[in-house]
């Protein structure tokens, strides 16, 4: 098991190095960093001095290593557009995105698994059929349309909930939170539903199909043949086996929530990292784009690792610890 995890960590590092290479290449070759820093008024000497100072004359590998070294310490350079350190900008914005992603993730996971199990057990019931039909519309409905729909309904028509921004936030020094004020909590409702709905639909459909597959297995039949109660068959025997394949995909989906926050944050003008990234794409603010890419991949890789470990924890077949030999 330890060897397995070490191998996964090793693979993760390779992935991060590859993504780092992409990020660095963007940084280095898209647009001219010198032009972005010096503007129109410059002399050949200025350019050469800056090139030397920035290390742009060094071999590619050296520059790449230096870029990685800085990235590890959280130094992603200066934003072209805001002329401030990228790390500082992202640190300001991160709490907003993470809180939104957290609420959406919990929503998607609990409701998605719950509905998935329900529709699998009552596979031919009318309620399950309605849920499945609605979920197909949910998959076809682009996230931003869901957001707009919710804004129109609850913001414009009913005037129950705020339609943009985070509301009042409490500053905890290194973190700002919307969890502690009523306007902050109210502001979270619509964006987190918007962001969570698509992942919820996916998780639900996945749980349903996996569960149906598990319910066809011989051990479920055998459990029934032993007269176990429906509750025991469905939840003790079937659900646990359903979770094994579901964990992988669900992990990826939770990672995707952070990326999909880009859309939700744009619709709701949510002051998070996603909105920052969209603005960076529009204005070709390469350092911000590169930093975002790196951070997202670190997050994904960590989620993947976590999923792998969870996998081992759930499935005894992967646990080779010599306890019963």
Partner 1 sequence: MDMPVLSLRNLTVDIPTRHGTLRPVDDVSWDIAAGEILGVVGESGAGKSMTGNAVIGLLDPPAHISAGEVLLEGERIDNYTLAQMRRVRGKRIGMVFQDPLTSLNPLLTIGEQLSETILRHLDVSRSEADARAIQGLDEVGIPSARNRMGAYPHEFSGGMRQRVVIALALCAEPTLLIADEPTTALDVSVQAQIIALLKRLCRERGMAAMLVTHDMGVIAETADRVAVMYAGRLAEIGPVSQIVGQPRHPYTDGLMASTPAASAGQARLRQIPGAMPRLNRMPDGCAFHPRCPRAQDKCRVNPGPKVGTADERAACWFPIEQDEAAA
Partner 2 sequence: MSNLPDATRQGVEPLDRMEPAEVVQPSRWRSIWDADVTWSFRHSPVAVVAAVVTLAMILSAIFAPWIATTNPFDPASLNLMNGFSRPGVPNAFTGESFWLGTDDQGRDVWSTILYGLRISLFVGFMAVLFALVLGVLLGLLAGYVGGWVETIIMRVADVQLTFPSILVALLIFGVARGVIPIEYRDQMAIWVLIVAIGLSDWVQFARVVRGATLVEKNKEYVQAARLIGRKPGAIMLKHILPNVLSPVLVIATISLALAIIAEATLSFLGVGAPPTQPSLGTLIRIGQDFLFSGEWWILFFPALTLLALALSVNLLGDWLRDALNPRLR
Residues near partner 1, by CB under 8 A: 217-219, 221-229, 232, 236-237, 240-241, 244, 314-317, 323-325
Long-range contacts of 89-95 (CB under 8 A, 24+ apart): 89/276, 89/288, 90/273, 90/276, 90/288, 90/291, 90/292, 90/295, 91/174, 93/271, 93/272, 93/273, 93/275, 93/276, 94/272, 94/273, 95/175, 95/176, 95/177
Contact partner, 236, from partner 2, partner 1, none, Cβ < 5-8 Å per class: partner 1
Single out the residue of 18, 65, 72, 306 in contact with partner 2 (rule: CB under 8 A).
Answer: 18
The interface with partner 2 within residues 100-159 (CB under 8 A) comprises 136-137, 139-145, 148, 151-152, 156
- Comparing CA positions, the residue from 197, 22, 195 lying closest to residue 112 is 197
Single out the residue of 43, 73, 282, 325 in contact with partner 2 (rule: CB under 8 A).
Answer: 282
Residue 98 near residue 296, CB atoms below 8 Å = no
H helix runs in 30-85, sequence order:
33-38, 44-54, 60-72
Q: Does 68 bind partner 2 (CB under 8 A)?
A: no
C-beta of 159 vs 231, nearer to partner 1: 231
Hey, what are 113's tokens? Answer: 């698994």
Hey, what are 201's tokens? Answer: 């639909």
Q: Does 228 bind partner 2 (CB under 8 A)?
A: no
C-beta of 173 vs 322, nearer to partner 1: 322
Q: Does 293 bind partner 2 (CB under 8 A)?
A: yes
Contact partner, 241, from partner 2, partner 1, none, Cβ < 5-8 Å per class: partner 1
Residue 77 C-beta: closest distance to partner 2, Å: 15
Contact partner, 324, from partner 1, partner 2, none, Cβ < 5-8 Å per class: partner 1
């Amino acid at each position: 098991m330890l060897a397995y995890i070490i191998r996964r960590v090793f693979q993760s590092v390779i992935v991060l190095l590859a993504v780092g290479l992409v990020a660095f290449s963007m940084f280095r070759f898209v647009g001219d960093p010198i032009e972005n820093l010096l503007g129109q008024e410059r002399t050949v000497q200025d350019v050469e001095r800056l090139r030397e100072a920035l290390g742009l004359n060094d071999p590619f590998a050296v520059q790449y290593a230096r870029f990685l070294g800085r990235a590890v310490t959280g130094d992603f350079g200066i934003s072209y557009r805001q002329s401030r350190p990228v790390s500082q900008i992202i640190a300001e914005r991160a709490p907003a995105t993470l809180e939104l992603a957290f609420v959406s993730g919990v929503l998607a996971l609990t409701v998605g698994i719950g509905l998935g199990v329900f529709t699998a057990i009552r596979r031919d019931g009318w309620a399950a059929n309605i849920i499945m039909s609605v979920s197909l519309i949910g998959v076809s409905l682009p996230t931003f349309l869901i957001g707009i729909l919710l804004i129109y309904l609850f913001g414009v028509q009913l005037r129950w909930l705020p339609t943009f921004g985070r509301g009042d936030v409490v500053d905890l020094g290194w973190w700002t939170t919307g969890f502690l004020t009523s306007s902050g909590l109210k502001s979270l409702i619509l964006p987190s539903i918007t962001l969570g709905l698509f992942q919820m639909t996916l998780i639900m459909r996945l749980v349903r199909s996996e569960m149906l597959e598990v319910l066809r297995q011989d051990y479920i039949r055998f459990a029934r043949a032993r007269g176990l109660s429906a509750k025991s068959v469905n939840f003790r025997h079937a659900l646990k086996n359903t979770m094994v394949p579901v964990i992988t995909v669900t992990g990826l989906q939770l990672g995707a929530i952070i990326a999909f926050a880009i859309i939700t944050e744009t619709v709701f003008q949510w002051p998070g990292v996603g909105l920052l990234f969209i603005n960076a794409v529009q204005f070709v603010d390469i350092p911000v784009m590169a930093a975002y890419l790196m951070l997202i991949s670190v997050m994904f890789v960590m989620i993947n690792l976590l999923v792998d470990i969870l996998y081992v924890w759930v499935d005894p077949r992967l646990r080779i610890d010599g306890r019963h030999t």
